[in-house]
Amino acid sequence: MSRVDALIDTLAADARPVRPLKPPLTRAAGWIGVVALLGGLAVYLLSDLQRLPNRYSGREEMLALEMSAMLATGVLSIVGAFFVAIPGYSRRWLFAPMAPFVAWMLLSGAGCYRDLVRNGSSGLEIGHSLDCLIFILAVSVAIGPPLIWLLSRARPIDPLPVAVLGGLGVAAVAAFILQFFHPFATTFVDLAVHLFAVATVVIAAAISNRRALSPA
């Protein structure tokens, strides 16, 4: 027996069976499904759904489009993170959430401007905006670690874009859930705070990516 054959036998003797991961879309759907169930339950039990249309009276259609863009940003970011985590899949997934994110910002900005024209300078006050910051960060901390654990199982070679997509997805989902608890229509100051919260989550995910995602 040659040394090569002996080495192969030694490695094969110590090798453990590897359980292949489920397809990225299946794994992403599992996380999204659990978060949707828990988020829906929290909204049903804790929010006042009847007051939501009243807070956005006159811009209900814009609110629906804005929330759809938020949700699309979150879902596409999460799905993209699962695909990008595995070598060989298209890197175009990095750009998947861009269009809905831009739509989210434009719709939110247009709604804020409309309310500013209607209500005057009251739309520039901080009010309860800091509560929104705490809400988005708290929800992100609650739902983010399970996502990071699932992504880490793929042992991504380049973890930074995976972490950025995951962070954006988590923050967008948190902002979407916030709308059901928001005590007032979104203002420019409020939108700025929301963006700061989203950026904080994305940056935190990017900074911690190398340890959290255990790159190969």
pLDDT in tens, 19-71: 777 889 999 999 999 999 999 999 988 887 777 666 666 667 778 888 999 99
Q: Which stretch of 32-36, 98-102, 164-168, 195-199 has the lowest confidence by average pLDDT?
A: 195-199
In a domain? residue 181: yes
In a domain? residue 191: yes
Residues 104-113 have a mean pLDDT of: 78
Is residue 7 within 8 Å of 123, Cβ to Cβ? no
Distance CA 49, CA 27 (A): 31
* 170-199 pLDDT, tens digit each: 999 998 998 888 755 566 676 777 788 888
In a domain? residue 138: yes
Distance CA 83, CA 113 (A): 37
The pLDDT assigned to 101 comes to 93
In a domain? residue 151: yes
For the chain, the domain total comes to 1
Residue 92 has pLDDT above 80, yes or no: yes
100 vs 119, more confident: 100
Query: Going along 75-170, which residue ranges are E strands?
Result: none
Token pair recorded at residue 131: 């509560």
In a domain? residue 123: yes
In a domain? residue 3: no
> Tokens 């249309």 — which residue?
53
The pLDDT assigned to 155 comes to 82
38 vs 16, more confident: 38
Q: Which domain holds residue 162?
A: 23-40+55-212
| Residue 69 CB neighbours (<10 A) | 23
In a domain? residue 94: yes
In a domain? residue 46: no
The pLDDT assigned to 94 comes to 92
Residues 136-147 have a mean pLDDT of: 91
| Residue 211 CB neighbours (<10 A) | 10
> Is this model's pTM higher than 0.95 or not?
no
The pLDDT assigned to 216 comes to 47
Distance CA 117, CA 57 (A): 15
